[in-house]
Amino acid sequence: MRRRGVLLSVVVTLIYLFLLVPIVIVVLAALNAGNYLAFPPQGISLRWFIKAAETGPFLRSFVFSLKLAGWVTALSTVLGTMAALYIVRHSRRFRTVLRLAIVAPLQFPAILTGIALLIFFFATGLGTRGMRALFIGHTLLALPYVFLTVSAVLVGFDRSLEEAAQSLGAGPLTTFRRVTFPLIKGGVISGALFAFITSFDQFPISLLLVSVGNTTLPIQLFDYLRFSFDPAAAAVSTVSVLMSVAIVLLVDRLVGLQAVSWSGQG
């Protein structure tokens, strides 16, 4: 048993190193004082962060990504919460089918989803690229995170609390506002935060659906690396990594990371 415990610790440590070492390399490369993207860094400097902040395309794409992620988060939070409420509480015969349909975008490579959306927009005449296409594509991938986290909370929800409120004269909307939502708020917040970071960092779908003037930050970074190979790219990547870490810390601070686990029951 002791040998198995040691072996398990070694395997887990290697997995963490495999996941974290590339991130550490990117951060150190962003602090490189040299003129080229290299590791180990040739001295420590913040000049590439300053250059990235002063680069117009990076700033415009950063603001656009924030705006897009904000709208995507708002819609996916509403739709995901409504879908979770319906499927967990009211759906019976088609519960499994509906659940699989909602989480299907997570089962397939995002590039395939992007190609399918591109063909769909072209065939329906809705316009193949631009803000509208990006908004729909990102929402399609962000919505399952909200659905899963809210569903996890609803599975263990004590409905007798709602029945008590209704017995005291509260209507459906009042019951939801004063009883149901406060109790599922943790799952809603967790799903919304993960939906935001999913949209902000989305690359495959954005690559296929972006248009001139509607470039997200990951695509702008990709285009930048095609012609320049300096640490400014690593600086932008570091900012994106820090945003992701901040989201995880915020989830843990607000609701606890245990609230985002999904048992798959219900």
We report the CATH number of the domain holding residue 143 as 1.10.3720.10
Alpha-carbon span 80 to 82, nearest angstrom? 5
Report yes or no on 4 lying in a domain: no
Confidence (pLDDT) at 243: 83
Predicted TM-score of the model (pTM): 0.81
pLDDT at 79: 94
Check residue 228 and give its pLDDT.
78
Please report whether residue 35 resides in a domain.
no
Residue 80 lies in a domain: yes
- The pLDDT tens digits for 255-264 are 655 554 443 3
Residue 226 lies in a domain: yes
Smallest CA-to-CA distance from 40 within 49, 51, 50, 29 is with 29
| Alpha-carbon gap, residue 203 to 258, rounded angstroms | 28
DSSP 28-58: HHHTB-SSS--SS-SSB-SHHHHHHHH-HHH
**What single letter denotes the amino acid at residue 74?**
A
Query: Which structural domain range is residue 134 located in?
Result: 55-260
Nearest alpha-carbon partner for 161 in 186, 184, 190: 184
| Domain-located, residue 176 | yes
Please name the residues in contact with 179: beta carbons below 8 A apart, sequence gap of 6 or more.
161, 162, 165, 170
The structural domain count of the chain equals: 1
34 in a structural domain: no
**What is the pLDDT at residue 266?**
38
pLDDT score at 237: 87
pLDDT means per 10 residues, the chain with 266 residues, are 81 90 87 79 84 86 92 94 88 84 87 87 73 89 92 81 81 83 85 90 88 85 83 87 81 61 40
- Spatial distance between the Cα atoms of 55 and 63, rounded to a whole number of angstroms: 13
In a domain, 19, yes or no: no
> 211 forms bridges with which residues in the sheet?
214
> In this structure, is residue 96 part of a structural domain?
yes
